[in-house]
Amino acid sequence: MRAAGLLLAGVLVATSAAAQEQGSVSVAIDGTTTKLNTVTYKPPGDGPFPTLIFHHGSGDFQRPYDPQIIGQWFVARGWAVIAPSRRGRGGSEGLDEEGDACSEAEAVAGADRALGEIEAVTPALISRPFVDRSRIAVVGQSRGGVLSVAWSGRHPEVRAVMNFVGGWKGTRTCLQGGAINRTLLNRGVAWGQPSLWLYGDRDVFYPLEDTKAVFNTFLAAGGKGVWHDYKPPKMLDGHQVVLAPHLWTADMEAYLAERGLPAKGGKP
């Protein structure tokens, strides 16, 4: 899983211009004040803007995580975008304790540590003066997708939840991967609103038949969601569909419009 995060981070760094703003926030995590780095995109003006919080995957990257493609796409539609780097990555303080265990108990414990970070940092992110707190959305890629869905189960105030190729453990290499992913994603059932699930063919970690089975389990448990899968261009694999907005723009716009949120704008 870390290899995917590294690859995605590398693609973003290689193709992105400087982020609109790089900064940090200090938050209390496990009783210790920890500085987490952030990258922020926002439209001109003071706002308040509908705001998207982007959660990254499991990569071990040194620079603050910069979701340039997502940032530009949403800014073109009047949104602000904030991407925090979790502990031990992107120059953020602390240690990455999410782990890479294949046992369900250990994997879920690692996810809970990540969710604790998100719980701690989100109030600091949305307290910024340009943020419209009545229009908050969360999106994530890979582990970040799982975290976004799971976190929303405890936050009914969130207006939209988008999951790009979410999973905690790859089902190709971990026999417990499917069970781990189901356990974590089913935490989002409690949100009670439809989340958007976007996956890709030829995913090197999550075959579509496995991820669609997890989605069907989510629905069977009472969750609400919209599923789309795509065939990525040849230079990308299915785990990188977030980098190909021409695949998902129409579906993302439709979802945001259904949630009563800004969906149309300039070209990404």
CATH of the domain at 42: 3.40.50.1820
Q: Tell me if 61 sits within 8 A of 9, measured CB to CB.
A: yes
Q: Is residue 268 part of a domain?
A: no
Number of domains in the chain: 1
Residues 49-56, mean pLDDT to the nearest whole number: 97
pTM of this structure:
0.90
Domain that includes residue 79, residue range = 2-258
Q: Is residue 203 part of a domain?
A: yes
Tell whether the model's pLDDT for residue 1 goes beyond 80. Answer: no
Alpha-carbon radius of gyration of the chain: 17
Q: Is residue 263 part of a domain?
A: no
The chain-wide mean pLDDT, for the chain, equals 91
Q: Is residue 200 part of a domain?
A: yes
**pLDDT value, residue 123:** 97
Among left, alpha and beta (phi > 0; psi -120 to 50; other), residue 77 is alpha
Q: Is residue 267 part of a domain?
A: no
